[in-house]
């Protein structure tokens, strides 16, 4: 057991005892970490969806999982909006494609468009209608107190980014697929979903099964040597 050098004084008044009830042997740990990696390494961004329905309870569990994310000063500065309503999905598709058209035609740099060529993406986003669910994630840069005064939240982008990572992982774990979608600017989402003034669209995730026949870009991930540095 390693003890901190300096004694940390905690006011236990506001604390509850934490029991880590999921200890594994070293062998189990090696096995679990390896198999979790292998499973997550199968995740791909999917841009062609089946319209097969997914129970609402599954979507609720995915959101529950994402909302277990840590957040700056525990402000939990997020709202997850789940949309299955076909009319609303159509409106989202139309608005997203309108923004993407402008982006592809004038907002994106030549280098950006060159980088996207390998992925084969364009302004058409049929998956926004085909996928049975869309999860629009909103960040709350500030909360409003009882007097309607702005109370800034902390590390909002980091917090909501981590929550989105956990959402993506939960989707994959459930045997479903998604796409991290950022039709920028995304202000149309707050309008269409009637969100309060302190919520700003952060990411849009279509969720469902992949279409029966799907192709994904033939890309590779950086090696462990390229993405890590160990100091032992
Ligand atoms: C922050 C972020 C924004 C992204 N935005 C889009 C997007 O708007 N449209 C899209 O088709 N893919 C988008 N992607 C997906 C990436 O292109 C994809 O993750 C990358 O090519 C790696 O492929 P993989 O997810 O299959 O491993 C985005 C990914 C991230 C992390």
The pick from 112, 123, 180 for probing ligand 1's pocket by mutation, whose C-beta has the most ligand atoms within 8 angstroms, reads: 180
Structure token digits, residue 218? 């033939």
Look at the pTM and tell me if it is higher than 0.85. Answer: yes
Q: Does position 99 have pLDDT exceeding 60, yes or no?
A: yes
Select the more confidently predicted residue: 9 or 70. Answer: 70
Q: Is 200 near ligand 1, meaning CB less than 6 Å away?
A: no
Q: What percent of the chain has pLDDT above 70?
A: 96
Q: How much is the pLDDT for 35?
A: 98
Q: Is 134 near ligand 1, meaning CB less than 6 Å away?
A: no
Q: Is 47 near ligand 1, meaning CB less than 6 Å away?
A: yes
Task: Please state which CATH number belongs to domain 44-213.
Answer: 3.40.109.10
Distance 208 CA to ligand 1 centre (A): 17
Give the residue, by CA position, lying nearest to ligand 1 atom 27: 44
Task: Give the whole-angstrom CA distance, residue 206 versus residue 88.
Answer: 13
| Mean local confidence (pLDDT), 92-111 | 93
CA-only gyration radius of the chain, Å: 21
Task: Give the whole-angstrom CA distance, residue 76 versus residue 163.
Answer: 9
Give the residue, by CA position, lying nearest to ligand 1 atom 2: 180
Q: What percent of the chain has pLDDT above 90?
A: 86
Kindly list the domain boundaries of the chain, sorted by start residue: 44-213
Q: Are 66 and 164 in contact (CB under 8 A)?
A: yes
Q: Grade residue 206 by pLDDT with cuts at 50, 70 and 90.
A: very high
| Mean local confidence (pLDDT), 48-72 | 98
Give the residue, by CA position, lying nearest to ligand 1 atom 9: 181
Q: Grade residue 120 by pLDDT with cuts at 50, 70 and 90.
A: confident
Q: Is 168 near ligand 1, meaning CB less than 6 Å away?
A: no
Q: Does position 1 have pLDDT exceeding 50, yes or no?
A: no
Q: Give the position, in ligand 1's atom list, of the atom nearest the Cα of 119.
A: 21
| Mean local confidence (pLDDT), 167-171 | 99
Distance 119 CA to ligand 1 centre (A): 9
Query: CB burial class (10 A; 0-12, 13-18, 19+) of residue 82?
Result: middle
Q: Is 30 near ligand 1, meaning CB less than 6 Å away?
A: no
Q: Does position 2 have pLDDT exceeding 60, yes or no?
A: no
Q: Is 40 near ligand 1, meaning CB less than 6 Å away?
A: no
- 133-140 and 78-83 beta bridge pairing: antiparallel
Q: Are 129 and 86 in contact (CB under 8 A)?
A: yes
Give the residue, by CA position, lying nearest to ligand 1 atom 23: 45
Q: How much is the pLDDT for 23?
A: 94
Task: Give the whole-angstrom CA distance, residue 71 versus residue 166.
Answer: 12
Q: What is the mean pLDDT of the chain?
A: 94
């Amino acid at each position: 057991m390693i003890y901190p050098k300096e004694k940390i004084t905690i006011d236990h008044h506001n604390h509850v005892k934490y029991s880590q009830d999921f200890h594994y042997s070293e062998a189990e740990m090696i096995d679990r970490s390896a198999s979790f990696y292998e499973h997550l390494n199968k995740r791909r961004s999917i841009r062609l969806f089946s319209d097969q329905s997914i129970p609402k309870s599954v979507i609720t569990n995915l959101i529950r999982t994402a909302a277990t994310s840590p957040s700056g000063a525990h402000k939990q500065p997020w709202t997850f909006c789940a949309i299955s309503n076909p009319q609303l999905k159509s409106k989202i598709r139309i608005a997203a494609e309108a923004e993407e058209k402008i982006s592809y035609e004038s907002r994106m740099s030549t280098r950006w468009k060159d980088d996207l060529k390998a992925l084969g993406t364009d302004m058409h986003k049929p998956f926004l209608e085909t996928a049975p669910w869309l999860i629009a994630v909103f960040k709350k840069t500030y909360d409003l107190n009882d007097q309607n005064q702005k109370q800034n939240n902390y590390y909002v982008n980091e917090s909501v980014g981590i929550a989105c990572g956990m959402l993506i992982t939960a989707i994959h774990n459930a045997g479903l697929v998604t796409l991290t979608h950022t039709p920028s600017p995304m202000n149309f989402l707050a309008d269409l979903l009637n969100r309060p003034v302190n919520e700003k669209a952060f990411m849009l995730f279509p969720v469902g099964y992949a279409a029966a026949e799907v192709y994904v870009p033939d890309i590779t991930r950086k090696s462990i040597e390229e993405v890590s540095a160990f100091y032992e």
